[in-house]
Structure formats: C-alpha cells, structure tokens
Structure 1
Amino acid sequence: MTTWLDVPADHPFGIDTLPYGVFSTRDAPQRRRVGVRIGDHVLDASAVAAIGRDAGMVGDGPDLATVWETPSLNSFLALGRPAWTIAREWLTEILTDDVHRAGVEPHLIPLDRVTVHLPIDVADYVDFYASEHHASNVGQIFRPDNAALPPNWKHLPIGYHGRAGTVVVTGTDVVRPSGQRKGPQDPAPVFGPSIRLDIEAELGYVVGGATAIGSRVSVDEAVDHIFGVVILNDWSARDIQAWEYVPLGPFLGKSFATSVSAWVTPLDALREARVSLPGQADPPVLPYLQGDAFGLDVHVEVSLNGAVVSRPEHAGMYWSPAQMLAHLTVNGASLRDGDLFGSGTISGPTVGSRGSLLELTWNGTRPLTLPDGSSRGFLEDGDTVTMTAWAPGPGGSRIGLGEVTGTIRPAVPLEA
C-alpha cells in the first residue's frame, strides 16, 4: 500500500503504522488535540475528520472530529474497537486515495513545528513482570539463597500497581528520587538520594472500552480492549526498592517517574508482528489464562548517552499482554479508558539483551564501559537514556514505535 505523500517506502512511520498522539503548535500552544503521524508530518486528525463529517464521508459512524478535538486520546479510547477499526480504515483511505489530497494536505504539519504531549490521561497504571529471564536474574541478585523464580511465577502474571500521576511523556527530565535505603551490612537505614538509579525497557499497553466492576475480560476478549502500544521506561531506584519491597512490593522505588513514548501504535498495526509465546507448557496455565495468548515480535534498543547498551527482544516474553489483562480483571476489577499496563522489563538470555542496568552490570559489580571511557554501574546525574523500538510490518516494512527518552537531574535538596 502506498500513500500520495512523499514518504520513503522504508520509513518507520509509513502508511502501515499511523500511530496516534496528542500535539500542539507554536501558534496555538494551549490547543492540544489528537494527531496521527505519517512520515515526518503530523496529520491534524480532528480537522480532517470535520471535513469528512461535513461531506458525509463517514456516514453514521462515530463523530471522530469531536473526540479528536480533545487534549487526550481518552474520548477516542472510550468508543471501543469497532470505532478504532473504522477510524484506521478511513485514515488509510484519505492518505492513499489521491482524490482526498487537496482537502487533507493543508492539515499536514511538519513534525518540527509541533510539540508532543502525554497521549492519554492515565486512569490506572499496572506494571507486570512477564520476562522469565528478567525475573530469574533479579531473583539471583536480590535473593541469592533462594530459588530464582517465586513459586507462583509460572502460574500467574505477577504485577504491582504503580502511580498513574507520574507517568510522563518522552523528553521529560527525571529528578533523582530520595528515600530510605539500607545495605545488607548497614546497622540502620539512611535517607538520601538514590545511588542505584536504574532503567527498565518495557512495552506499555493502552486500554480502552471501560468495563463494570465485577465483570471480567477473557484472554480472547483482551484484543477488544488493548488499543495500542507505547515504549515504556519504568525508572527504578534499586536501593530504595530493595529495602522497601518485602513484603508488599515496589513503592517509592518505582513511583517517582515512568516515561512513555509520544506515539501510540495501534494493535491493528502490529498484526504481522504477532508470534506464539515461547513457553507455558509446564506447568499448564489455568483455564482463565488460556486462549489467544499472542506475543509480539518487537525489537527494542536501549542507548545510554548515545551508546547502544542493549537490544532486548519482546518476542521472548513468557506472558502475553492478553493474559495480563485477563488476570488484571479476573477478580472483578474494572477497566477504565486510559488504563496503562506495562510488560515488565524485557530481557533475554544474553548479556546484550538485558533490559535493565541491574542485570547488565549485575547490580553494579560489572560496570559498563562507555565509548568516552567512563563507566556506569547505575545512572549518574546528567545521563540520558533513550529507547527505540520497531516491529515487522506488511511486505517487509517496519512499524516504528518511536522513542522514549529522559535525562537524569539531581535530587531535590532537603530543606534545612
């Protein structure tokens, strides 16, 4: 499929991608609305939808012009999968059929003239722990005298509730968190800035189609609620985490910031990237976790100060996003438009495929050497971390997931 725009065939944001985001322009910085990226332009989605509505091009379908003239994707997410499918088909049509060019072209804005914003108002944020390699590595580091995997790990997708209010868009600086920490040999805990600040390379799944409390979403129904995918960096203060996480799990060591990419890649754009899960034969999962438990062949790249330090592969994840969503709701917990859940750190069997510094440096005991000759066990102030990702698309094309980047700023000093 080709577009009438001058977009190279190998562009990661070609006609097969069409991700959604929220943007504003220099001349109207307060007017945030939904945009669709195509090549190096952003399509003002509400403006072209208004043209289509007034011309009767969208028939009796949803009023996309209204839901896209809002400062988040939440109103669009609330419409559900049938509307998402109609919207994508319509966008594809107007960007491929030359008859629409005259009406659409004035609403294409060069990427360097827009500011991108957090694409959703995050309703709830849950982070899972779906990589067997990551869970095993963390177990060996934090619990060397016990089994690497907790006894429940292969029976259910483990997760924790994060803080929705500290999910930030790519490009947002991250302030080094402070909290309590206590090393194994320390006589008592101390308070201060984290000295083991880390990253976690993940995918985030954006949810729409709210459900009622007391209802459940099955594995097979999950695709009706998973709208799309973002790249997610779950910043982690390992020293704060290690002291606080027993017995209730992560809290302050995780809640200070979670960064996501600006563009939400629709699940429909990732059809060619669906793969089978690599395991789950022994032990078999319970019936409510069975069904269309698909994986995604997404290739992630992690850079620290411009140097690639890891290339995690999402295809190796043990648990499916559909299973995570089914488990999240099996107790009757409701879904809200704008819910976000993370895959957990994506890590593989080799050092170069590990998605956190905790694993890459084995808790700081094997520091990385960067091209400038400096070394890192964990992040220092001024460090910039960038994650990019792509997936296979139709006919050998690449589906780009964009990037998520953040720079570490010093901790806020304590008041005297």
Structure 2
Amino acid sequence: MPPFDVPEGDPFGPHNLPYGVFSPPGSSERTVGVRLGDHVLDAGAAAHALGSPYASLLARPSLDALLAAGRTAWSDVRRALTAWVTVPAHRETVEPLFHPLSEVTLHLPFAVADYVDFYASENHARNVGRMFRPDAPDSLTPNWKHLPIGYHGRSGTVVVSGTDVVRPSGQRKAPADPAPVFGPSVRLDIEAEVGFVVGVPSELGRPVPLGGFRDHVFGLCLLNDWSARDVQAWEYVPLGPFLGKSFATSVSAWITPLDALDEARVAPPKRTHELLPYLDDTGEEPGGYDLRISVAVNGHVVSEPPFSTMYWTAAQQLAHMTVNGASLRTGDLYGSGTVSGPTERERGSLLELTWNGRDPLELPDGKRTFLEDGDVVTLSAWAPGPDGVRVGLGEVTGRVVPAP
C-alpha cells in the first residue's frame, strides 16, 4: 500500500510520526527517518526536496541536532512533516522518498549521553519488598513516598531494538552457599520500562523545575532494563545496582515526540504523603501517561503493565535528578523503572510474574522462571490518541544468546 494511503486508524498514522535513524536498502549511510504506517520517510531528503529550512536538522546521521534545537523547533518540524505526508500537493515530491520498513536497517537513533534508571512503580516496589523484606513493617523503604529513587547506569551499553543480548557473567552467591561462585547468570530477567529522551541541556548548578519538563524532554520510547537477578542480589548491598544491570539496556528504534501524546496525559495516582515543594506537582499539567504495554516471551504475551499507575512522573524524576545542580546533556536517557500494575497479569518483570521463581510461567514452549538462551522478549505499547485513534510506540525486541 502506498505510504500516503495509510488506513484510517493505523497506530502509526500521520497523528504519530515517530523519529528514528535508518540506512536505506543497499546503503550503510544513516539518516533521520519518520515512520508512517509500514514505511519510513527520508526526512532529510524530503526537507531538501521541498526547500525546507529544517533540512539542517533532518539531513543528519542521528537525531542529536534535532534534540538540541529545542521545543519551538520540535513543534515547527512536526507541523512541517505532518503537512508533507498529508497535503496532496506534496505527494509527487515526497512519495518516492519513502522506503518499506521491512527493507531498511534501523539504528540507535541518538548518541546516549548519561543514563539514569528509576524505581517509580509502587506496585513493583511493594512486590519486591514483600519478596525480599517479608518481616519489614512496610514493604516500601522509608524514603520511597518522598523521592523518586534511582541510580546511574551505563550509557555505553544502551542498544537498539533487535540487538542480541549476551547472557552476562558475574559473581553470585545463594544464601546457603559458603562462598560466591563465578559464571553465567542463571536468573536473567527483563524490566518493562519507558525511557525519556532529553533534548535541551541545562546549566550546571541550576535545577530544572517541574514546569521545565516539556522544554527539555523531546520524547519517549519503550525500554527493557535487562537484569541479572543473581548477580544483582549479591552485589547490590550497600551501593545498589552495578554489574547486574550494566551489561545491556534495550531501547526502541523509534522515539515518539511528546507532542504526539497530548491525548494520553493523565493524572498520576493519588499521593499519600505531602511532597517537598520541588516535587509538588499540584497545579501542574497532568504528569502521567496512559500507555498500555505488552510483554511477550517468544511471541506469547505474559503481561500487560499499565504505565498510568506509575506513582512518580517523568517531570518529577527530571526535577529530582537535577535538584542537586546536576546538569542535563542532549541525549540523556532516563528510565521510568519497572512498570507494574496491581494484578498478577500486569507485572513488568519475571521476578514478579514468577514470584522470584516460585511460580513458573506456563509458555507454549515450556515453563519459565527466568530467561533461557534463545528466548526472545518483545515489548510493545500504544496510547490513546486524537479522535479515538491509537498512538503506537515502537517495539523493543531482544534475543538472549549464550555467554561466551
């Protein structure tokens, strides 16, 4: 089907237009692309062909220049792209610049600067607390309702969807073992998350307030925070995640601009504790997003976590991560933390779905507690869009390959 003739209601229709970076068939050169249905528009070539002033932002091998250009440019470019793919007068010029999605090679769309991961789902945090602190008076840690807990990860191991994930090796020690052993992780897990991509940097020493979220954050994508639970369990006291997390983080090849998700804005869950002023979003625009995520293992859906249940919003996370004066850089990526809902079918990790291995999942190809070599994990999602149309998010897929 020609790209201009995307069926009405397609989740990747002109109301969406996520950005990515691709190589055309038979070429190794990279360029910015925009997805429409099952095609990719060479956005830079279209800008040149139409004499657009935005060619300098779009005729690039990455999204970095567009990310840094700022909110006004983001809105202007989006309006221009919408016109290029919907106005009949542009069809003759633009249509030859589309490529079938199945024929292009997709790349990591931006240079990842810093990477931070949070822990923002109350359901996930309570599940973990019940598993590992069963005798504690509260399944949440004392600070959890007062600040978004997070850690700094490793930006160099963020990989694009479709990249194989090598099973990590490391130290592990079961409670009954006399000493740690070294070897491939035997409790490899996933975490279904949403990643937020920073465009405009900030000045060192100047925190970004809640109201600055839309001025600094360009868009979002699905993110899989692969986790070696056995390595993590042995190393994380007292400083937190390290080798159990740093070996790979998978992100979508498509970044959905925040402007495409205005219809999906929702209020976060009711807060149960008074927040300090820099986190108090009373009176701010709704900070949550109604994203419906699906988690599939080898093509079998095992969970459908709802992002609307996240206690801490992306704006609060941004405010907290800069409140000490830490600066933002173009290409900073921060993850929401595992997305888990209140029911068993809505848990965003195998740790929770199998209750730390106690209750194996029944899959068509056998039982699973944690991932086996050869398993393929796919995250997909959609959000409510204008006039009842869905906004699709680019999927994240990764296949586990054996440790070397």
TM-score range relative to shorter protein: over 0.9
Question: Secondary structure of the equivalent of 1:122?
Answer: coil
Identify the range of structure 1 (155-164 vs 94-103) with the bigger mean alpha-carbon deviation.
94-103
Partner of 1:18: 17
Partner of 1:267: 258
> CA offsets per residue over residues 24-66 of structure 1, 9 Å max, x none?
012222x10100001111110001111233xxxx5xxxx4212
Following superposition, the deviation at residue 109 of structure 1 comes to 1.2
The correspondence for 1:375, drawn from 356, 363, 367, is 367
How far apart are the structure 2 equivalents of 1:5 and 1:25?
19
The correspondence for 2:193, drawn from 177, 189, 202, is 202
Does residue 64 of structure 2 align to residue 74 of structure 1? yes
Following superposition, the deviation at residue 69 of structure 1 comes to 2.2
Aligned-residue Cα RMSD (Å) equals 1.2
Partner of 2:108: 118
Question: Secondary structure of the equivalent of 2:339?
Answer: coil
TM score, norm. by length of structure 2? 0.97
> CA offsets per residue over residues 93-126 of structure 1, 9 Å max, x none?
1212111111111111111221100111100110
> CA offsets per residue over residues 341-384 of structure 1, 9 Å max, x none?
00000001110000000000000010001123x10000011111
How far apart are the structure 1 equivalents of 2:291 and 2:24?
31
Partner of 1:298: 291
Partner of 2:88: 98
Question: Secondary structure of the equivalent of 2:359?
Answer: coil
Does residue 348 of structure 2 align to residue 350 of structure 1? no
Question: Secondary structure of the equivalent of 2:245?
Answer: coil
Does residue 27 of structure 2 align to residue 33 of structure 1? no
TM score, norm. by length of structure 1? 0.94
How far apart are the structure 2 equivalents of 1:48 and 1:288?
43
How far apart are the structure 2 equivalents of 1:7 and 1:236?
38
Following superposition, the deviation at residue 145 of structure 1 comes to 2.5
Following superposition, the deviation at residue 4 of structure 1 comes to 8.2
Identify the range of structure 1 (284-293 vs 208-217) with the bigger mean alpha-carbon deviation.
284-293
Amino acid at match of 1:348: G
Partner of 2:273: 283
Partner of 1:141: 131
How far apart are the structure 2 equivalents of 1:153 and 1:13?
37
How far apart are the structure 1 equivalents of 2:207 and 2:264?
27
The correspondence for 1:331, drawn from 324, 330, 334, is 324
> CA offsets per residue over residues 224-283 of structure 1, 9 Å max, x none?
111111100000000000111111100000000000111100100000000001121x21
Could you say if the C-alpha distance between residues 89 and 143 of structure 1 is closer, same or farther in structure 2, counting changes exceeding 3 Å? same
> CA offsets per residue over residues 286-316 of structure 1, 9 Å max, x none?
1101232510000000001111100000000
How far apart are the structure 2 equivalents of 1:381 and 1:143?
30
How far apart are the structure 1 equivalents of 2:291 and 2:377?
19
Does residue 143 of structure 2 align to residue 152 of structure 1? yes
Question: Secondary structure of the equivalent of 1:253?
Answer: helix
Partner of 1:396: 388
How far apart are the structure 1 equivalents of 2:246 and 2:3?
44
Q: State the identity as a percent.
A: 64
Gaps of 5+ in 2: none
Question: Secondary structure of the equivalent of 2:391?
Answer: strand
Partner of 1:42: 40
Question: Secondary structure of the equivalent of 1:284?
Answer: coil
Partner of 1:8: 7
Amino acid at match of 1:93: A
Question: Secondary structure of the equivalent of 1:76?
Answer: helix
Partner of 2:121: 131
How far apart are the structure 2 equivalents of 1:286 and 1:73?
35
